[in-house]
Amino acid sequence: MTGTDHDPAAGPPRRPLVAILSGAGISTDSGIPDYRGPNGLWRRDPEAEKLVTYDAYMADPEIRRRSWRMRLDSPAFRARPNAAHEAVARLERSGAPVRVITQNVDGLHQLAGMPERKVLELHGTARAVTCTRCRARSSMAWALERVAAGEADPPCLVCGGILKSATVMFGQRLDPQVLGTALGLAKAAEVFLAVGTTLQVHPAASLAGIAAEHGARLVIVNADPTPYDEIADEVVREPIGSALPRLLTDLG
């Protein structure tokens, strides 16, 4: 028997653990603009960054009012999963051990069919709101209904505290438990794909390097160069909507 032969009596061959780190670029085909690209939100409106900066949001009622108005008009809540999200979910349904670590807050991986327990949201979710005082949590849709009905800065109905989206704003720390799980996945993955991320925002960006250090095959799918291209086994510059389904079909 050669090193690549498989003994049928041993059952089906073990499939490699695939970890996918997804960034804003995976969702642009769904109509959600990225933040730092040529047409990104921060490039078009540098002041918009204040709307998702914790200290500014907590200190200034006008920032909060602008933030809620921005959410009312946000395409994120109307967006649907695109071919890339669907390809990830399809690979998981095929029986492959797949885990998603996402920098996105749009929930599109779950809408495409990825089980929630297999998606780590490093920066939280925009589909829920939380009270900054009592930590009560409710749906973003319900909060936006209140805004549309005339509450410019809706308070928590439990304690009257300030509500914010259940996302990690600038100036807030990542959930240490979520980050710890992500680090464990990076170390355990045999294939690690970084998709639609600049790999410049830490600690998320460091996951690619950690995966490579622990022996994973590192594949980067992104329109622009990243700091980790030199250590990648493969770098793909093609559009994500066509490149990722092809790559995942090969894996499957």
pLDDT of the residue at 49: 81
pTM listed for this prediction: 0.88
Which residues, including other chains, have CB under 8 Å from residue 216's CB and lie 6 or more apart?
A: 19, 186, 189, 190, 191, 192
Q: Give the separation between CA 180 and CA 60, rounded to whole angstroms.
A: 33
Please confirm whether the linkage preceding 225 is cis (ω < 30° from 0): no
Q: What's the one-letter identity of residue 250? A: D
Count other Cβ atoms within 10 Å, centred on residue 120: 19
9-32+81-123+173-252: CATH, from 3.90.1580.10, 3.40.50.1220, 3.30.530.20, 3.60.10.10 = 3.40.50.1220
Give me the residue spans of the domains in the chain: 9-32+81-123+173-252, 37-78+126-167
What pLDDT sits at residue 108?
97
- Residue 123 appears among annotated catalytic residues: yes
Q: CATH assignment of 37-78+126-167?
A: 3.30.1600.10
State which residues of the chain have pLDDT below 70. 1-13, 34-46, 252
Which pLDDT score is estimated for 2?
39
Question: Under 8 Å CB-to-CB from 177, ≥6 apart: which residues?
Answer: none
pLDDT of residue 7: 53
In the prediction, which pLDDT does 247 show? 95
pLDDT for 4: 45
pLDDT at 5: 52
- Of 193, 166, 191, give the one whose Cα is nearest residue 101: 193
Could you tell me which of 179, 166, 222 has the C-alpha nearest to residue 26? 222
On whether the CB atoms of residues 95 and 252 are closer than 8 A, the answer is no
Predicted local confidence at residue 12, as pLDDT:
57
Task: Catalytic residue, from 6, 85, 109, 123: name it.
Answer: 123
Confidence (pLDDT) at 84: 98
C-alpha span between 173 and 52 (Å, rounded):
13
CB 17 within 8 A of CB 189: yes
Q: How many CB atoms lie within 10 A of CB 13?
A: 9
Tens of pLDDT along 184-195? 999 999 999 999
